[in-house]
Amino acid sequence: MNFIDEAFLEVRAGNGGAGASSFRREKYIPFGGPDGGDGGKGGNIVFRVNSNKNTLIDFQNKRVFIAKNGRPGAGKNKSGSAAEDLILDIPKGTVVYDDISNDELLDCCDDNATYVIAKGGDGGQGNARFKSSTNQAPRKFTLGFEGEIRFIRLELKSLADVGLVGFPNAGKSTFLNKVSSAKPKIGSYPFTTLRPHLGTIQGNDSSFVIADIPGLIEGASEGAGLGIKFLQHISRTGLLLIFVDLFPSDELMPVKQVQLLKNELAAYKDDLTQKISWVVCNKIDLLKSENISEISKSFQKELKISEKDIYFISAATGEGTQELLNALEEEISKNKLDLT
């Protein structure tokens, strides 16, 4: 399945039904009064957060959604029935924009929440509504009101406690596969990850969610590679793990990897360098212990990164991953407590 993180929709709420113009016609009642009923309300267009969905692929081929109109009123004061709402399921983390004004309308972060995005029109009034002491036989009635029409842009931004950031093949997917039940595709070629993957980690006292963000490249914030489409996902994560490949195929040194990644994070509109970030050096199973010490010192000296914010792991063998997960659980729990 392709990962679709943006969609453009036209939504049309239903029109209200027309009121009726009618008079009583019964035996032995030669001059029956007006009895035209009101029209029914048009259907709303409703967005519903569905935790089982994780893409906007449902809106890839169908982009126009029209709710049903309300039914017209009838004689004998019968009101027309209201139309059912048209409910569209969207993933948690979807942001809804007005595509004309670019205003943000909704930020759909609550499980199973519903949001009316386009209101159906009210039904018209039947002629029974217009009877008065001076007008005993009104023929006046009103048509139903039109429903709202909106042009909408949906953007999906992953919601996670931790975001994994790194160049392609840094080992993010292998790490997530190792520590959670998520099964991202893993390969030895660039851009193995084409969509964010979410994995739930069960810690000692609590659980948290990690998002594997597709690999970034230099120039991602300007649209190069896949990065510009997924930097927005990083903006919804609490803490960033910057994955470093200790044995990159293009000989990009570890310090240089972090520098380039931080440049892309800073260049994005939200300046993602403001987030808490740790450096995770992967593939230590291929290194000697003295090399690990040298790399750690180079990060501290050249990038001014604290030693406590540098972790060395092997995503393939699992070495060092438990210590990292314990630290993540502690940090996430601390930040959640600070917010309450």
Each of the 340 residues of the chain gets a pLDDT tens digit; together they read 345 578 999 999 999 999 999 998 777 666 678 999 999 999 999 999 998 887 788 898 899 999 999 999 999 999 999 999 999 999 888 999 999 999 999 989 888 899 999 999 999 999 999 999 889 889 999 999 999 999 999 988 767 789 888 887 788 888 988 888 655 444 443 334 445 677 778 888 888 888 887 655 444 334 433 444 556 667 778 899 999 999 886 678 899 989 988 887 887 766 677 788 899 999 999 887 778 889 999 999 999 999 999 999 999 999 999 999 999 999 988 876 443 3
Q: What value does the CA radius of gyration of the chain take, rounded to a whole number of Å?
A: 29
What is the structure's pLDDT at 271?
63
Q: Which residue from 208, 272, 216 is spatially nearest to 243, judged by alpha carbons?
A: 216
What is the structure's pLDDT at 339?
37
What is the structure's pLDDT at 74?
96
Tens-digit pLDDT profile for residues 217-246: 444 334 433 444 556 667 778 899 999 999
Contacts 24+ apart (CB under 8 A), 300-305: 302/255, 303/255, 303/258, 303/259, 305/258, 305/279
What is the structure's pLDDT at 227?
44
- How many CB atoms sit inside 10 A of residue 100's CB? 10
Tens-digit pLDDT profile for residues 264-305: 788 776 667 778 889 999 999 988 777 888 999 999 999 999
Is 160-339 a CATH 3.50.50.60 domain?
Answer: no
What is the structure's pLDDT at 260?
86
- How many CB atoms sit inside 10 A of residue 124's CB? 25
φ/ψ of 192, rounded to 5, equals -60, -45
What is the structure's pLDDT at 25?
79
What is the structure's pLDDT at 185?
46
What is the structure's pLDDT at 278?
95
Stretch (H or E) spanning 149: strand 149-156
What is the structure's pLDDT at 269?
63
Contact call for residues 283 and 318 (beta carbons, < 8 A)? no
**Per-domain boundaries in the chain:** 1-156, 160-339
> What distance in Å separates the CA atoms of residue 229 and residue 206, rounded to the nearest whole number?
31
Is 1-156 a CATH 2.70.210.12 domain?
Answer: yes
